[in-house]
Structure 1
């Protein structure tokens, strides 16, 4: 029996669900939503992460060198970080409020693993070396998303100094990688179709940096937070020009790239709405919740349909398929 291949970008599924849970956690803390919604989403995200992890470990255990091949793959490799970032978020948002010490330990363990993997991947990219055309926004994940979300998670469990260290790691990596990735997108050929959904990740760094900063600084909107919002607004508006490209896409697992990115934008928007409390602020809050929930829900439903039709997992290579048929 051939063990099905689980691509690394499948970890984008629990990551997107964790992002939606973060949005509802934010709304709950502001008193605009019941906490049970976030709790259910956190539990679902944890279940999907565990299922994906078990499936992936079975896959890599079924053949020598599969893990290293994935980690050194210049397209898929960066997505490996989501296997570590997601449980870090779930521990900070779902475990720590109920079991503070256990939550802190789990967060710390996955922060260490995230930084180690980010360092290893950075070294691998130097050792490689990389071809510029292989860069895509998924390269933000190991160190930019990893660092910034580690900062937010550390702040959630009361480790302010560690949070500041991780914020610095994420911000510096964003400045460096952001310039390189944007240059590749501007001056080199368009991304291959399966990677086009990763363009949505361009809206994430400013949003995630804002969430980390709010977690550290206590939801205070100051000059730095406003500056992050300015760049974030630019990237959100840039996505509007990309809508025709996005609408031409067929569903693939990489479609989950849209989910966490926009959930993070939604969570930051809730912080800003709550800070300013403009007229009709509750309406704006519920519109954000509804829009992001509808997006993630639609992608989740499409995923279940593909799974039911046996279209979600990649087809085995002809040789492997033939061997399975012979058995």
Structure 2
């Protein structure tokens, strides 16, 4: 069995982004609510399909500590608990008490993982070249997603607390990550899709701001959108870089970030009552859905061919290795 890595949770994370996009479209066009509901259900199913074998392998090999402290994959360990928060928002549409309870669990786990990883980064001997945009996920992504869901659940005091949590972490980590990208060698090939995550903080922050204040445009939202525009232009410049990367689990890094940007665009279309916003909304969700369908098709092909996830040999436990050495001797 291939070694499973936490970046596999990028698959349900991307599907959650598509579900959120369809949910936001409902504020502009008469979209059947069943579409978003089905997408959230598929997201929950895929989350479980990834979680069960991943958690089983990690526990069986007793490598939870190694997963959390891994300088490459460690930040992705926050994604499965962030998904709990996202799914709780969908669950609240059916039962608010259940949604709030699930959100509380996801929030606590997200903050605990974020706190542990932040402490780990402080005490570990991390080199600047080891940083990548995935380091935004545990605290920046976790805080901003928590603010969004809390606002939609009516937790008006908690939402700004988590917005501040996410924004301050964005300012701190963003300076480190951009310094790394500006001054250090180019990211390794398979990590280059994480450059798409640079678009996520302004997009997720903008969506959280709209969730907190309704579809009302204001100066703060416009400021966030301004930085988002810069990061969107950066993504266009990086297209030739992305085209060099072979498809793999890391390719799903594009999905959530870009879909959050589409969702933010839909909120602005509604807030500004842009002429032609109805056809523009349909165009946006169709293109977004097509992009995810393409990722799903490549993933399915990889599963059939046995190349997704990549075949990384699982290391044998140290005790087993010692027994074999003694036997050979």
The TM tier, using the shorter chain, reads: over 0.9
Look up the match of 2:261. 265
Superposed displacement of residue 12, structure 1: 0.7
Look up the match of 1:111. 107
Number of residue equivalences: 317
TM-score (norm 2): 0.94
Look up the match of 2:199. 203
Superposed displacement of residue 318, structure 1: 8.1
CA contact (8 A) 1:108 1:154 kept: no
Look up the match of 1:73. 70
Look up the match of 1:34. 32
Superposed displacement of residue 56, structure 1: 0.8
CA contact (8 A) 1:4 1:59 kept: no
**Corresponding position: 1:238 with 2:234:** yes
Superposed displacement of residue 61, structure 1: 2.1
Aligned partner (choices 177, 182, 189) of residue 181 of structure 1: 177
Structure 2 distance, partners of 1:319, 1:161, is 47
Look up the match of 2:159. 163
Give per-residue Cα distances to partners, 1:5-56, cap 9 Å, x unaligned: 2111001110110010000011124343111111111011000001111011
Which piece of structure 1 moves more, 255-264 or 156-165?
A: 156-165
Superposed displacement of residue 317, structure 1: 2.5
Superposed displacement of residue 197, structure 1: 0.2
Cα distance 1:81–1:318, how it changes in 2: closer, same or farther (>3 A)? closer
Cα distance 1:226–1:61, how it changes in 2: closer, same or farther (>3 A)? same
Structure 2 distance, partners of 1:318, 1:126, is 29
Q: Secondary structure at the match of 2:61?
A: coil
Superposed displacement of residue 316, structure 1: 4.4
CA contact (8 A) 2:248 2:310 kept: no
Q: Secondary structure at the match of 1:160?
A: coil
Alignment of 1:76-95 (within 5 A): 76-92=73-89, 94-95=90-91
Look up the match of 1:149. 145
Look up the match of 1:125. 121
Structure 2 distance, partners of 1:39, 1:243, is 32
Give per-residue Cα distances to partners, 1:174-217, cap 9 Å, x unaligned: 01111110111011100000100000011110010011111111
- List structure 1 runs of 4+ shifted beyond 3 angstroms: 29-32
Look up the match of 2:326. none
**Corresponding position: 1:8 with 2:3:** no
Look up the match of 1:301. 297
**Corresponding position: 1:250 with 2:246:** yes
Look up the match of 1:138. 134
CA contact (8 A) 1:18 1:45 kept: yes
Give per-residue Cα distances to partners, 1:248-291, cap 9 Å, x unaligned: 22101100000000110000000111112222111211111112
Unaligned runs of 5+ in 2: 321-329
Structure 2 distance, partners of 1:31, 1:246, is 33
